[in-house]
């Protein structure tokens, strides 16, 4: 057996073991849901900023950037309902300090008529629609960039003219070109964006800082430890936005968020997602190198 092949097998074994451990951790940390059959008539219609496409047989497995669908599914389970997601035009947060919307900073938005509630990232200073209740999930998003350690890029402004990889399920597509003059390359999922960074397809990759900070703890990402920290005011909080008339949904969402806090669910979820994303990158980059 050649040293390279042996190394690949050993690395694969370590990654598989790490993924298995992370999955077990996430399962242990996940909030317990009451076991009850979902009524075929009960559907929780939830507006999210990115509707995850259905998996197609034969396609690569990809972990989406946003956690919205997983959190919305947890609420649907709490209500013994079937989840149905629909897209919404959200308040996007740029790579810098100012929130941006089509109507202007701090403006409100409308829950689509075909949805019962929304799950959206609210930039600081943004207000939910009138006659709604906002339940903060405590999942906070901030833009962060990672690059090769030998990069000359030291500030967000220096992204001008440079290629930046983002994923279509994230909050930052379109904002980096508009604010900094970066050349954006939009990929379907974080694994594709990060793979492009590793193979020289872009100068930087921008994703949520909570995800990237966990990713950089992995030894195989040591060469990509150069970062652009989140700008001071570039923060948004993921929240359920529920019409005030929906008392049962509001109570269920509040109870669910309390469970997540007690069980540190969001932290465990992030760790598992990072392990999954890292493994997806590994499969695409390292495994072919073993042949």
pLDDT in the model for residue 89: 73
pLDDT in the model for residue 36: 45
Radius of gyration of the chain (CA): 20
β-pairing, 82-87 with 183-187?
unpaired
pLDDT in the model for residue 287: 59
47: pLDDT strictly greater than 50:
yes
pLDDT in the model for residue 1: 45
pLDDT tens per residue across span 261-280: 999 999 999 999 999 999 99
d(CA 84, CA 88): 13
236, 121 in Cβ contact below 8 A? Answer: yes
Identify the residue with better confidence: 107 or 262: 262
107: pLDDT strictly greater than 80:
no
47, 118 in Cβ contact below 8 A? Answer: yes
What are the distances in angstroms from CA 240 to CA 118, 237, 255, 256? Answer: 6, 10, 12, 11
Identify the residue with better confidence: 177 or 288: 177
Q: Where are the beta strands (DSSP E) in the chain?
A: 43-48, 82-87, 92-93, 99-100, 117-123, 132-141, 143-147, 163-167, 183-187, 204-208, 226-228, 236-243
87: pLDDT strictly greater than 50:
yes
d(CA 3, CA 34): 50
Q: How many CB atoms lie within 10 A of CB 229?
A: 12
Cα 98–Cα 67–Cα 96 angle in degrees, nearest 5: 15
For the segment 86-96, the average pLDDT, to the nearest whole number, is 59
pLDDT tens per residue across span 125-140: 888 888 999 999 999 9
As given in the structure block, the two tokens for residue 166 are 């983002």
Percent of the chain with pLDDT over 90: 64
150: pLDDT strictly greater than 70:
yes
28: pLDDT strictly greater than 60:
no
3-class SS letters over 3-55:
HHHHHHHHHHHHHHHHHHHHHHHHHHHCCCCCCCCCCCCCEEEEEECCCCCCC
d(CA 211, CA 234): 16
For the segment 213-223, the average pLDDT, to the nearest whole number, is 96
Q: What does pLDDT average to over the chain?
A: 83
124: pLDDT strictly greater than 50:
yes
233: pLDDT strictly greater than 60:
yes
Q: How many CB atoms lie within 10 A of CB 53?
A: 12
For the segment 176-190, the average pLDDT, to the nearest whole number, is 96
| Residues with Cβ within 8 Å of residue 107, at least 6 apart in sequence | 91, 101, 126
Q: What is the pTM of this model?
A: 0.79
Percent of the chain with pLDDT over 70: 78
d(CA 291, CA 284): 12
């Amino acid at each position: 057996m050649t040293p390279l092949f042996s190394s690949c097998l050993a690395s694969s074994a370590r990654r598989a073991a790490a993924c298995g451990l992370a999955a077990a951790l996430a399962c242990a940390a996940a909030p317990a849901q009451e076991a009850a059959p979902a009524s075929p008539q009960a559907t929780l219609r939830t507006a999210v900023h990115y509707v995850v496409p259905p998996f197609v047989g034969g396609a690569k497995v990809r972990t989406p950037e946003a956690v919205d669908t997983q959190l919305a599914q947890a609420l649907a389970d709490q209500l013994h309902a079937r989840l149905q997601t629909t897209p919404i035009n959200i308040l996007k947060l740029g790579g810098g300090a100012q929130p941006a919307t089509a109507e202007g900073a701090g403006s409100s938005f409308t829950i689509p008529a075909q949805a019962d509630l929304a799950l959206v990232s609210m930039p600081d200073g943004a207000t939910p629609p009138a006659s709604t209740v906002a339940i903060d999930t405590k999942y906070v998003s901030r833009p962060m960039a990672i690059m090769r350690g030998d990069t000359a890029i030291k500030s967000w402004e220096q992204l001008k003219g440079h290629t930046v990889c983002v994923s279509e399920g994230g909050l930052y597509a379109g904002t980096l070109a508009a604010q900094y003059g970066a050349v954006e390359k939009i990929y379907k999922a974080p694994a594709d964006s990060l793979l492009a960074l590793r193979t020289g397809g872009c100068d930087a990759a921008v994703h949520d800082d909570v995800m990237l900070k966990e990713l950089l703890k992995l030894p195989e990402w040591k060469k990509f430890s150069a970062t652009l920290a989140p700008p001071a005011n570039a923060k948004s909080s993921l929240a359920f936005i529920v019409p005030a008339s929906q008392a049962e949904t509001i109570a269920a969402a509040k109870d669910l968020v309390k469970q997540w806090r007690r069980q540190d669910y969001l932290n465990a979820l992030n760790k598992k997602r990072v392990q999954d994303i890292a493994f997806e990158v590994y499969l695409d980059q390292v495994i072919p190198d073993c042949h």
